Structure 1
């Protein structure tokens, strides 16, 4: 049963350590894993990267960070921003974690660009998806106005652990710090979190199965992938929502951008133009059209792949009603 006990979204266990950091390993089409490296290594990389990419970073104006939940569309939205001629978005870097661990704010852009460049060099694959926009200017060979990181769930977790983190970033950075919140219907978001728990789902996708629907059903029948919504994922979703609400109070409204994943997939051209305006990026029509072509309509609702109890649905309805940034889903259960 889902309990009413307040949950805490703060990092737990080894993920809470402040002397090392989880970093993605890009391995082409099989990319999906992380390793932990020392924070001192990141300090050295930040100095080297700042020197290596000094020309690309010299006209930088904005540092953008995502907030929210895992499995809500950050990877796609971040990749499409990265395809802009004057933007670079890191993949799976968790810059707010690095900032919490003592990396100076003004070193973060160079780390983001180094990560984005490595992701591009490896083909921009992650968990069985390719995040390359054909014909777009991914990579560091461009003058940047915007740089950032898409790891929104971990930015939110670190903010839960250190509530002053968002304000401290804005105070210590020489750049205009902005935030993007991508929401997805909580029923679908939580279902996907449950499906992809323990990574069996990701392994299946990377394996290249032709009929993913049949493969998922088979994996659910033999217990490799969840067939029921996990209560822990509901609790985690609710805890992250509470942390998002707290983060939102720490900045002026013009620094905060909200968009639903459903709106983004239904109207990608319009959504990309809104994002460009928020980030003060040139609404380059070639970028917009190429990026929009990569977007697929979100018709396959993951909520239907798992069974839900009535009390679980009631808990989700409560969290929707409790937060203004989820109001789009009030009548869409």
Structure 2
């Protein structure tokens, strides 16, 4: 299923690249906007893990633009000029802001903040965790060539959610079976583990979805510190105002059998970034 989606997306790359030329004049006028960029932010991980929330909160920062699933890594893979990609990310962020930052029935619009706009642009990136995971898995050499296609350091954000909840939500949305969900999820975990061996540990941050919900100001401060941007209390409070009061434990809405629970439990033990998660928690 994912391979089919990826193939369709690959077929759209040429169309997106062609689209860039129509924006050339605007890009020429706007290229000074990108000279202040200090970091490129890339999400890597899993569908239904909480990426949309984190990406939207960061996009509300006055120094950050985070596009919503442009699949920028695919464009980098095709050697599209990084300034064109930056421009498309900015356009994407602005468009999503005018739409109220809607996703799967939720609004991630942060009141009184900077979604779709900025004061000084220091960080730009794309909230596309699962597709990024797939590209790294199928084309690991991209990690070697990508730094040469950017003029700034790359920072990876890895959002983690209780695997039982993450898998349940994945298969519910896809109308897939539990075996597919477990295999798909831990294939992505394997890719993240591989990524961690290929980059400096200071360039990737694990963000636990449950920790963000429990204490959004503290975790968001940590993420912004990782990206080396300052935060104001007003920004943190406004972001916290849209965060759910408690994490959704979707695992209890699905009939998990004992064998599958034990399988996931054993897989969890293999990954340090999943330690502490359980079915009963």
Paired residues, number:
281
For residues 210 and 23 of structure 2, what CA distance do their matches in structure 1 show?
36
The SS at the match of 2:12 is strand
2:251 to 284, 300, 303: 303
The SS at the match of 2:276 is helix
**Which residue number in structure 2 is paired with residue 61 of structure 1?**
38
**Which residue number in structure 2 is paired with residue 257 of structure 1?**
205
323-332 or 276-285, which deviates more: 323-332
41-50 or 134-143, which deviates more: 41-50
The SS at the match of 2:120 is coil
For residues 32 and 244 of structure 2, what CA distance do their matches in structure 1 show?
35
Match status 1:234 vs 2:225: no
Change (3 A) 1:19 1:268: closer
Provide, for residues 40-87 of structure 1, a one-character-per-residue CA deviation record: whole Å limited to 9, x for no partner: 324426745533533432311110011100000000000000000111
Change (3 A) 1:132 1:253: same
Q: Is the 8 A contact 2:64 2:118 kept in 1?
A: no
**Which residue number in structure 2 is paired with residue 188 of structure 1?**
165
Q: Is the 8 A contact 2:113 2:238 kept in 1?
A: yes
Change (3 A) 1:315 1:48: farther
Match status 1:79 vs 2:27: no
**Which residue number in structure 2 is paired with residue 212 of structure 1?**
none
**Which residue number in structure 1 is paired with residue 226 of structure 2?**
278
Change (3 A) 1:65 1:49: farther
Change (3 A) 1:190 1:48: farther
TM-score normalised according to structure 2 size: 0.92
Change (3 A) 1:152 1:169: same
**Which residue number in structure 2 is paired with residue 287 of structure 1?**
235
For residues 69 and 273 of structure 1, what CA distance do their matches in structure 2 show?
23
Q: Is the 8 A contact 2:261 2:279 kept in 1?
A: no
TM-aligned CA deviation for residue 101 of structure 1: 2.8
**Which residue number in structure 2 is paired with residue 113 of structure 1?**
90
Provide, for residues 182-216 of structure 1, a one-character-per-residue CA deviation record: whole Å limited to 9, x for no partner: 10000000000011115xxxxxxxxxxxxxxxxxx
Provide, for residues 7-50 of structure 1, a one-character-per-residue CA deviation record: whole Å limited to 9, x for no partner: xx9x513523575338xxxxxxxxxxxxxx72432442674553
Unaligned runs of 5+ in 2: none
For residues 252 and 327 of structure 1, what CA distance do their matches in structure 2 show?
21
**Which residue number in structure 2 is paired with residue 32 of structure 1?**
none
**Which residue number in structure 2 is paired with residue 92 of structure 1?**
69
Q: Is the 8 A contact 1:105 1:169 kept in 2?
A: no
Q: Is the 8 A contact 2:101 2:107 kept in 1?
A: yes
Match status 1:144 vs 2:92: no
CA RMSD of aligned residues (A): 2.2
Unaligned runs of 5+ in 1: 1-8, 23-36, 199-225
